[in-house]
């Protein structure tokens, strides 16, 4: 029988170390919020393939749509022979994305590609070069994506030099009252000291930082950025690659702030596990690049577009936007209860979330970030049958990204495992001390 150990040995010999693995647990099959590994062991999935599976593993309607498309054709390249699946999906996203103005959409393959193309479009439209991002941000692993990313380890180590004309503004400190005003002040200083606003093509921001630690952007900051971009003719880009498609209790997280960005980048849960990304935005901005300036051989794959159209159907039919708010409320309650009733409660720090995009920090007895405890909890959770991810600039944040289709009983079972796991790790540490 194939084992996790034998597969991992083969993986270590065949795949470079730069491709990390959260676990040496190899999937055999999966359904909704559960994975079965190659040894037949069941795991509850609180990672969702890093926010890709809001509609769960192998949703029947998504699978059926893909099978139907496979029987027709798998690829023509949209730039050679276009097809209706691409157009229909573009029309639907143009309607769903916030903003009372005409919109257009381009499809690509990865989130990083979406970010790269959003920057290209903004530069073509404004005839400017500079782009501003935020500390703690994650925007991809391509050269421009890494330049925009505001976290050095492990994403940038050894890969420079990076594209120029990229600047970073400090992200507001979590929990700091009016911290967003400090970010605005830093932006004003940047305009005076490093790059004039008339030279800035775009400001890009995640409405909730993903890799940065599930930090929610204060809505006041988003509204202020909208005003600044309006004033100076800067394109405002919302990176919704991790936050999009119902995760935060809105179809797009930016909707919570009441503003509309000029461009939105999306990927991950757009196509229920198939490689597809998109940029949607104001038609006049999207039309700025010349014919042939945008595209990609696999961009807008007919199979991916078919899956995405099915995903949008599922989200509407199963009311996953509403479901995200129900799940998020319960997660906050469970984490709060866990903190209150356990002796290790002082090791759980800030608990935060927007809809079902929820996280908690793990800290030392003194309240400082505890990356080592977080790593141990993630590893032990895998042994106990729970797939879990960490994040954060200080690597001490547990993030929860279970499918929005997960039954209540599965979610409760997952948090039972988490509670047991934290206790086991701390007990083992105490015995070893």
Catalytically annotated residue among 46, 138, 191, 415? 138
CA atoms within 13 A on the CB side of 183: 28
For residue 342, the model assigns a pLDDT of 93
For residue 1, the model assigns a pLDDT of 72
- Same domain, residue pair 38 and 77: no
Rounded Cα–Cα distance for residues 29 and 11 (Å):
19
For residue 71, the model assigns a pLDDT of 98
The verdict on whether 138 is a catalytic residue reads: yes
Give me the CATH number covering residue 43. 3.90.1150.10
- Same domain, residue pair 112 and 243: yes
Domain that holds residue 327: 4-58+319-432
- Same domain, residue pair 323 and 216: no
For residue 242, the model assigns a pLDDT of 97
For residue 208, the model assigns a pLDDT of 97
- Same domain, residue pair 276 and 298: yes
- Same domain, residue pair 313 and 323: no
Q: Which two tokens stand for residue 156?
A: 């940038």
Catalytically annotated residue among 103, 268, 282, 380? 268
Kindly list the distances between the CA atom of residue 96 and the CA atoms of 101, 128, 230, in Å, as whole numbers in the listed order. 12, 29, 22
Strand order in the sheet with 235-239: 103-108, 277-282, 263-266, 235-239, 200-205, 130-134, 166-169
The verdict on whether 268 is a catalytic residue reads: yes
SS3 for 252?
Answer: coil
- Same domain, residue pair 31 and 68: no
For residues 71, 406, 92 and 81, what is the CA-based torsion angle, rounded to 10 degrees?
-30
- Same domain, residue pair 220 and 75: yes
Q: Which of 216, 221, 253 is nearest to 397 (CA)?
A: 216
Catalytically annotated residue among 37, 239, 262, 370? 239
- Same domain, residue pair 98 and 199: yes
- Same domain, residue pair 191 and 261: yes
Ranges of residues in the chain with a pLDDT under 50 are none
Q: Which residues contact 240 (CB under 8 A, 6 or more apart)?
A: 206, 207, 252, 253, 254, 264, 265, 266
Strands 103-108 and 277-282: antiparallel
For residue 376, the model assigns a pLDDT of 97
- Same domain, residue pair 333 and 196: no
**Total structural domains in the chain?**
2
For residue 199, the model assigns a pLDDT of 98
Rounded Cα–Cα distance for residues 153 and 249 (Å):
31
- Same domain, residue pair 31 and 107: no
Taking only the tens place, the pLDDT of each residue in 273-297 is 999 999 999 999 999 999 999 999 9
* 0.85 surpassed by pTM: yes
Rounded Cα–Cα distance for residues 214 and 16 (Å):
29
Last residue of a domain, one of 293, 317, 341: 317
Give me the CATH number covering residue 166. 3.40.640.10
Last residue of a domain, one of 317, 343, 377: 317
- Same domain, residue pair 23 and 73: no
Last residue of a domain, one of 296, 317, 338: 317
The verdict on whether 245 is a catalytic residue reads: no
């Amino acid at each position: 029988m194939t084992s996790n150990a034998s597969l991992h040995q083969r993986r270590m010999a065949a795949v470079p170390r730069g491709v990390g693995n959260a676990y040496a647990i190899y999937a055999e099959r999966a359904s909704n919020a559960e994975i079965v590994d190659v040894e037949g062991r069941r795991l509850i999935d609180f990672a969702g393939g890093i926010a890709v599976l809001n509609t769960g593993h192998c949703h029947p309607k998504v699978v059926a749509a893909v099978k139907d498309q496979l029987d027709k054709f798998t690829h023509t390249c949209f730039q050679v022979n276009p097809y209706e699946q691409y157009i229909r999906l573009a029309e639907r996203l143009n309607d769903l994305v916030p903003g009372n103005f005409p919109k257009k959409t381009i499809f690509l393959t990865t989130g990083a590609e979406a970010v790269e193309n959003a920057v290209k479009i903004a530069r073509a439209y404004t005839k400017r070069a500079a782009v501003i991002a935020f500390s703690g941000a994650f925007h991809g692993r391509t050269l421009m994506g890494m330049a925009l990313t505001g976290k050095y380890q492990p994403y940038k180590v050894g890969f420079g030099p990076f594209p120029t004309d990229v600047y970073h503004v400090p992200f507001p400190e979590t929990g700091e009252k009016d911290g967003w005003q400090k970010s605005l002040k830093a932006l004003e200083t940047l305009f005076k000291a490093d790059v004039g606003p008339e030279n800035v093509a775009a400001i890009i921001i995640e409405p909730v930082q993903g890799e940065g630690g599930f930090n929610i952007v204060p809505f006041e900051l988003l509204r202020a950025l909208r005003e600044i971009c309006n004033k100076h003719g800067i394109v405002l880009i919302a990176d919704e690659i991790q936050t999009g498609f119902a995760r935060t209790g809105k179809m797009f997280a930016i909707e919570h702030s009441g503003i509309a960005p000029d461009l939105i980048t999306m990927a991950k849960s757009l196509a229920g596990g198939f490689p597809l990304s998109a940029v949607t935005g104001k038609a006049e901005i999207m039309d700025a690049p010349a014919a042939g300036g945008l595209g990609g051989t696999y961009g807008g794959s007919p199979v991916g577009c078919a899956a995405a159209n099915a995903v949008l159907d599922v989200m509407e039919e199963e009311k996953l936007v509403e479901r995200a708010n129900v799940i998020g409320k319960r997660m906050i309650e469970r984490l709060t209860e866990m903190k209150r009733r356990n002796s290790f409660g002082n090791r759980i720090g800030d608990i935060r979330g927007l809809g079902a995009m929820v996280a908690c920090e793990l800290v030392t007895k003194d309240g400082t970030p505890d990356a080592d405890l977080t790593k141990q909890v993630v590893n032990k959770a895998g042994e106990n049958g729970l797939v879990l991810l960490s994040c954060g600039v200080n690597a001490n944040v547990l993030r929860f990204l279970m499918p929005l289709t997960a039954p209540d009983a599965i979610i409760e079972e997952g948090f039972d495992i988490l509670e047991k796991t934290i206790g086991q790790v701390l007990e083992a540490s105490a015995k070893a001390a």
